[in-house]
Structure 1
Amino acid sequence: MAGGKSEQRDDWHDWLADMARQATTDDLRHFYAGFPSDSTCPVGDAPLIAIDLETSGLEPRHHAILSIGVVPFTLRGIGIGQRRHWILRPPQEFSGESVAYHHITHSEVEQAPDLADVLPDVLASIHGRIPVVHYHPIERRFLDRAVRQRTGTVFRFPLIDTMEIEAQRHRRPWRLRLRKLLRQSPESIRLNDSRIRYGLPPYEGHQAVLDAIGTAELLQAQIQHHYSSSTAVGDLWL
């Protein structure tokens, strides 16, 4: 975080309040002020929103966000009808490999808006909900850099990472050593591979909205199998 502030869970309440005061736009101020920052809230009562980004690469300094998909949900259900999807025009030209990988065409990108043009809608969709992602370094680093470049405001907030939940179970040192002794590869914690472990069907990957829905379903299954609806969100978020 900015100013050397750590990313410990106990810091988030003060961090969000500080950012609400420092935000450079009304939309960001409203977003930070309305973030559900009570770490003791049971996850079963929490309003959640799954977010997925498709990017032209893995490094925010050299690559860009191509699309954003979001879907609101709770542990009781998923708001499929409220899902949103934005295709964005990146500041850099992106490769044909990115087109094939993300099922986004050059013509779609050429006609797409810049993130600055849709940021108010994105913030409004997330407002009042705790974001859930699969592999948080992508969403956290890309969104922070993109929003900071356009507004001058740091864009950091608590989120729940379904990949981290899988890693806590399948990437423990003793488990890795055992699989190595058995000459087995580490279990994959990619989104579809994780879903399959819970009996969820695979989705065609690398489409932002579908991956957001897949992430929402995965968290519901993870809570059912490993936690409970009374688990505090502060025990889950990063």
Structure 2
Amino acid sequence: MIKQLLRSFHPLEQLERKRINEIKKGVLPNSCSILFEYPIPSPDTLIEDIEFIVLDFETTGLDSYNDEILSVGSVNIKNQILSLSSAQHFYMLAANAIKPETAVINHILPEVLIGGCTEKECMEKLVLSLAGKVVVAHCAEIEQRFLRRALALSHDTPLPIVFLDTLKLEKSLSDYWGQAKPDLRLSEIRQKKGLPPYLAHNAFADAVATGELFLVLIKEIFSEKRVTIGELLSRSQSS
């Protein structure tokens, strides 16, 4: 009884109840109604039974209300295999939103966005890819905030997606205990682990780089143990 009670407070169980409650209301957001069709995995679901999608947004800044998404990159992981054939990379029609200070970093210039898709078109494609999957991102809060804004979700509407954060997974390692401000940039972590350098601040390259890091972290944290999504989420939220 106590075990069942504690389980009911698990973040995954709480998100599943929110998903069901939203369905019962009978008015799902048009922008992402398909996301509500897929149940949230239970905490004891093995990760080998879950399909992941690694997501990266390049934006004009970190303010999801005043900044814009410039490009989106994603790639799928299943059975701890990163599938490059599943990769997607979209540019947005947002040339007017480009800021000099971020263009220097991500090298996205107005001419790069010619022929891109509108944010609505991109989100329609992306939502289809996200449905039924667990999202992995580096500093996942950024992707989560911008995704909510792009889908025009109200404050009290749940986003029925589980997010895992490679930054927090890395920070949970004992190497960082006692460090006030460790360098947790994606490129720095990859270098530390002997992973090859990729083009930084490119949505497609960063999605692949994050996916590779995610697979390395699973092995580093859990060794050969069979891992549940509940255990993985706990480590991803522990920092």
Query: Which bracket does the TM-score occupy, shorter chain normalised?
Result: 0.7 to 0.9
Q: Cα–Cα, structure 1 residues 108 and 154, in superposed 2: closer, same or farther, change >3 Å? A: farther
- What secondary structure is seen at the aligned counterpart in 2 of 1:176? coil
Q: Cα–Cα, structure 1 residues 35 and 205, in superposed 2: closer, same or farther, change >3 Å? A: farther
Asked if residue 160 in structure 1 is aligned to residue 156 in structure 2, the reply is: no
Asked if residue 169 in structure 1 is aligned to residue 164 in structure 2, the reply is: no
What is the rounded CA distance, in whole Å, between the counterparts of 2:41 and 2:19 in structure 1?
A: 8
Kindly state the Cα deviation for residue 149 of structure 1 after the two structures are TM-superposed.
6.6
Unaligned runs of 5+ in 2: 1-8
Report sequence identity in percent: 23
1:24-77 deviations in whole A, cap 9, x for unaligned? 22x622222125422221123321110000010011122111111000012431
Kindly state the Cα deviation for residue 167 of structure 1 after the two structures are TM-superposed.
1.6
Q: Cα–Cα, structure 1 residues 114 and 144, in superposed 2: closer, same or farther, change >3 Å? A: same
Instruction: Count residues in correspondence.
Output: 222
Asked if residue 23 in structure 1 is aligned to residue 28 in structure 2, the reply is: yes
Aligned residue identity for 1:236: L
Aligned residue identity for 1:62: N
What is the rounded CA distance, in whole Å, between the counterparts of 2:200 and 2:69 in structure 1?
A: 16
Tell me if structure 2 keeps the 8 A contact 1:28–1:123.
yes
Which one of the candidate residues 7, 10, 14 is aligned to 2:13? 10
Report matched runs for 1:77-226 at 5 Å.
77-90=81-94, 93-148=97-152, 155=159, 157-169=161-173, 174-176=177-179, 186-226=181-221
What is the rounded CA distance, in whole Å, between the counterparts of 1:92 and 1:37 in structure 2?
A: 40
Which one of the candidate residues 63, 66, 70 is aligned to 2:67? 63
Aligned residue identity for 1:124: L
Which one of the candidate residues 231, 234, 237 is aligned to 1:235? 231
- What secondary structure is seen at the aligned counterpart in 2 of 1:79? strand
Aligned residue identity for 1:206: H
Aligned residue identity for 2:161: F
Instruction: Tell me the TM-score normalized by structure 1.
Output: 0.82
What is the rounded CA distance, in whole Å, between the counterparts of 1:68 and 1:61 in structure 2?
A: 17
Unaligned runs of 5+ in 1: 1-5, 178-185
Instruction: Tell me the TM-score normalized by structure 2.
Output: 0.81
